[in-house]
Amino acid sequence: MSGKPKQAKAGKILLVSAAFILAAAAGYACSSDDQTDSKLGTGGSASSSSTSGGGHGAGNPDGGTGAGFDPDPEPEACDGHAGEIICVEGAAVTCNADGEEASSQDCGDEICVPGTGCILCIADQFSCEGNTVLACNPGPPAQWDPIATCDPLAYQKCNSAQGVCVPLEIIGGTTPTGFYYQYARFQQGDTEFLGGYDIDSLGDYLYVNRGGSALDVYRVELLDSDGDGEFEPNQHPDNPDATGPIEDRIITHIQTYDTQLGQQSQGELYAVTEGVFFVDQGTQGDFFKFTYNGQTTTKVVDTNSAIAFSHLGYDEVNGVWYGSNELEIWGGGRRVFSYHAASNEWVFEFGYPDLSGDHMDGIEVVTDPNTGTPYVYVSDMTSDYLGQYMRDRGDTWIQVNLFEYAGTGEYVEGLGFGALNHFWAAAGSSIYEIGGGDLAKFTEPDEPPPR
């Protein structure tokens, strides 16, 4: 195999957004339970800021100020509002009798009403708390009153716009709107791959549930096999954005951990720097974490339901777990749930159509670093499709894309995103790499090796 090796500079996106606004007063409440750690190593946070108008224009070509130029800064918010309470960018500002700011209160998740200030909610407004429908009781004081409980096992979910439980609909179609490409296939016996099904990726590493008590760790390296001095993970003869020969990859077995994971092919993985999370269908789909240092396994989510999850994904922007199982629902559709930590409930989020596969088999959440938007990707076991979904507003979802890729007809057992900014799937005796298209813009620094 020709060319020089290079470790992949890619991985699961861990952009921590300062705010992910679903919709004003939409009421979807999912709080982070801090069950996972940042994959960037040291944690920390990122903040966002916005700027308003009022900056200087270009002026006249002769250097004069030109008509309409005001050398003074913008007027104070309280000018003309003496003795009033006004709302400024989500804050309640109290103005004194001289038209000056006396105090300011950031309303946060509450609503600012001119003349009143921050209040919890307003009349005829609804919200969702897990599977509970809430209606605003304006008081005073304002409070949320429960008015209905939705049953996710009956395909119901809370609708915060209507204030009722609504039947879940299948979202999206089965006509492809984009294309991915298959870049590599590592076969047991021909490479260092030892076999296995459920898979995840972090940085340059792949983590595979081999069954029994084996968690195998592999490193993926990209070669400059076309000798042009560039490392081109998206280059593919059929990719119009990066046409050319597929560059070679190398897989190296790094380590095997002796630990009992979920049942092979029904125990999807989610890798972090210090360990892996996994789902165990044998315990009705509870979520666990295996930590390398100390070789310990702890339960992190008690599903407390009859759903029997076998797939899991994690939205690191909003701190939300997603889960699904391999059962079909009405019309051959699939179903995706989220975990609402505050109420310890699983919420039925959306259904998606049968993608020509035998059953659902994989969830992965990938964040666009340019927008901070998390996308939920779903797959079927024996189809060559990946569906891309996003929360549009509140409790509403849309299908963003349905990507088709020309695969080998192998199984998709679990789904991971990371190495080379691509998806990885396992098929028992082989693992393979899928990507291209919009994934080319998802970048992240190298991760430290597993420990």
Q: Quote the percentage of the chain above a pLDDT of 70.
A: 76
Mean pLDDT of the chain: 78
Q: Which residue reads 């679990």 in tokens?
A: 414
pLDDT at residue 154, rounded to an integer: 83
So what's the pLDDT on residue 325? 80
Mean pLDDT of 75-89: 89
Q: Which two tokens stand for residue 371?
A: 């927008």
User: Is pLDDT at 419 greater than 80 in this prediction?
Assistant: yes
User: Residue 440's pLDDT is what?
Assistant: 55
Residue 327 has pLDDT above 80, yes or no: no
pLDDT tens readout for residues 121-165: 999 999 999 999 999 999 888 999 999 999 987 888 899 999 999
Higher-confidence residue of 52 and 214: namely 214
> What is the structure's pLDDT at 128?
92
Question: Which sequence spans correspond to the domains of the chain?
Answer: 5-17+171-441, 85-167
pLDDT at residue 10 in the model: 38
* Average pLDDT estimate for 293-306: 82
* CATH T-level assignment (fold) for domain 5-17+171-441: Neuraminidase (2.120.10)
pLDDT in tens, 362-399: 899 999 888 889 999 998 888 888 999 999 877 889 99
Whether the pLDDT of residue 190 is over 70: the answer is yes
- 354 pLDDT exceeds 90? no
Per-residue model confidence as pLDDT tens digits over 17-60: 223 222 333 333 333 333 333 222 222 222 232 322 222 222 33
Confidence category of residue 442, pLDDT binned at 50, 70, 90: low
* 230-288 pLDDT per residue, tens: 999 999 999 998 999 999 999 999 999 998 887 777 778 899 999 999 887 666 678 89
Whose tokens are 């998740």? That residue is: 109
Percent of the chain with pLDDT over 90: 46
